[in-house]
Chains A and B, each alone.
Chain A
């Protein structure tokens, strides 16, 4: 299951490598960026700003907003991590969209081995693709011609369909979509997805909590 995304991630990383070189980053800087930040959309956003002549502050701010969704995501995973604070902080670094969604067990808990394993493969292809793009990118064609940028949203679509079993989940997905699309034209990139996470607060209603307790009892296993 991880293979097509490793390939797609590698090719997106390749296009990142090409974009960063064109935006004034050296090969080494481009590769280090992918190796220590490992966050596609944030890297694309900040490099585009630098390439357009923007300052470091604006580029960092855009990347931070892009990555702000990792705040609720890693908080959700937090209780599923074993180990002390330093170890948990390190494990938190492995949270990226696809492996976060793959490792969700659907009951509020996460499989940390699945998360770390899926992220390790994604990391290798992300850094590997960046190296190829940063060093040999000028000899390659335009990667967007292959339509690979559609792979991630399509994959997320597939994961989303799995999540829509309950009526409440369908309502929350619709609400999240609406929040994100309304905010796209009026807020900086990154804000729409972060704000969409607020749709999950529907879970705070008494009825949502009561139904969750019921379904746990029906499974006959205390958590």
Chain B
């Protein structure tokens, strides 16, 4: 097998397993209170981390660059207008604009 084929097969098997474990183990049950209480807080924790890493991380170092400016502009747009469309359009436009400078 070629390297790409091994990589694809490996990624497929591991990703499928990661996504199946929780639903198989936890499906069709009543939730204990502690579980729900943690799950509710999982969204802010993971979303904040996704925003922070995508906006600030360039590989293994932190940097403020074009996409940081774009995400900041998008965040400002959704905070002031509540429009997710305005948010993403502005984010892309500002990022492209800063990159073109």
Contact = CB atoms under 8 A, between A and B. Distances in A.
16 contacts: A67-B18, A75-B23, A81-B27, A97-B50, A150-B70, A150-B74, A150-B91, A152-B54, A153-B54, A154-B88, A169-B44, A192-B57, A197-B46, A200-B38, A208-B37, A209-B37
Contacts of A156: 47, 50-51, 54
Given A73-B46, A79-B26, A60 B14 contact: yes
Interface of A: 1, 4-5, 8, 24-26, 29, 32-33, 36-39, 42-43, 46-47, 50, 55-56, 59-60, 63-64, 67-79, 81-83, 85, 88-89, 91-93, 95, 97, 101, 104, 106-108, 144-161, 163-164, 168-170, 172-177, 179-181, 184-185, 189, 192-193, 196-204, 208-209, 212-213
A32 B23 CA distance: 25
A94 to B, nearest CB: 8
B7 A50 contact: yes
B51 A150 contact: no
A176 B45 contact: yes
B11 A43 contact: yes
Interface in B58-101: 59-62, 66-67, 70-71, 74-75, 78-79, 84-85, 87-97, 99-100
Output the residue of B16, B22, B49 with the most chain A CB within 10 A. B49
Contacts of B96: 145-147
Given A173-B44, A192-B49, A56 B7 contact: yes
A160 B31 CA distance: 24
Contact of A209 (B3, B6, B33, B51): B33
Given A78-B25, A196-B49, 13 more contacts: A68-B18, A71-B18, A71-B22, A101-B43, A147-B66, A150-B67, A150-B95, A152-B54, A153-B71, A153-B91, A158-B78, A185-B61, A208-B41
